Structure 1
Amino acid sequence: MESREFIDMARKVLDAASGVRERAADEVTDRLSAYSPAQASALATLLSAAAASEKENSALEAELHAILELMSTGHVGLDHVSQLREIRVGELPPELREYVTDLLES
């Protein structure tokens, strides 16, 4: 992925609007083969930080799904998504709890 596209994606992942973050997370999963190993791990780290402070469950679900997909590339390790440990799992709906638990146990 070209630098310009990568920067644009990173900006969307960190956007102030939850709808933009949600769409960006979905777009991340649509372009998995376009990322270099460094880009994949950087996006996973950004998504993890966004997820740790996410207030909207639909955006959180999209972010967690994108992280899971990025981890499947083999370029993302648990250290890249360590911010997920900041999420208060007990306050989440059951399906999101499972997502977070699965990611942290990967």
Structure 2
Amino acid sequence: MESREYIEIVRKVLDIESGVRERAADEVTDRLSAYSPAQASALATLLSAAAVSEEENSALEAELHAILELMSTGHVRLDHVSQLQEIRIEQLPPELGEYVTDVLEG
């Protein structure tokens, strides 16, 4: 992916508006084959950091889904998403808690 496009998606992933973050996470999954290994791992790390502080369940679900999809590329290791361990699973709806567990189990 070209640097300009990559920076744009990173900006969206980190946007203040949850709707923009959610759409950005969906866009990440739509373009899996476009990322270099470094871009994929960096995006997964940023998405993980965003997920830790995410307050909107729909955005969190999209972020977790994008992380799982990025992990499926083989370019993302568990240590890239280790921040997810900060999420208090017991405070999430069950389906989102299961999503976090799935990601952390690789």
TM range, normalised to the smaller chain? over 0.9
1:68 partnered with 2:68: yes
Is the aligned partner of 1:45 residue 2:7? no
Deviation at 1:59, TM superposition (A): 0.1
**Structure 1, residues 41-65: CA drift from partner, whole Å, max 9, x if none?**
0000000000000000000000000
One-letter code aligned to 2:98: E
Name stretches of at least 5 consecutive residues in structure 2 with no aligned partner. none
Counterpart-to-counterpart distance in 2, 1:45 and 1:19 = 20
Task: Provide the rounded CA distance (Å) in 1 between the counterparts of 2:31 and 2:93.
Answer: 28
Look up the SS of the partner of 1:79 in the other structure. Answer: helix
**In the TM superposition, what is the alpha-carbon distance from 1:101 to its structure 2 partner?**
0.4
Q: Residue 31 of structure 1 corresponds to which residue in structure 2?
A: 31
Distance 1:94 1:67 in 2: 18
Gaps of 5+ in 1: none
The percent identity for this pair of structures is 85
Deviation at 1:24, TM superposition (A): 0.1
CA distance in 2, matches of 1:57, 1:17: 13
TM-score by length of 1: 0.99
Instruction: Please report how far the alpha carbon of residue 33 of structure 1 lies from its aligned counterpart in structure 2 after TM superposition.
Output: 0.2
Cross-structure match for 1:17: 17
Under a length normalisation based on structure 2, what TM-score does the superposition of the two structures give? 0.99
How far apart, in 1, do the equivalents of 2:49 and 2:38 lie? 17
Aligned-residue CA RMSD (Å): 0.3
User: Within 5 A, what are the aligned runs for 1:53-92?
Assistant: 53-92=53-92
Moved over 4 A (4+): none
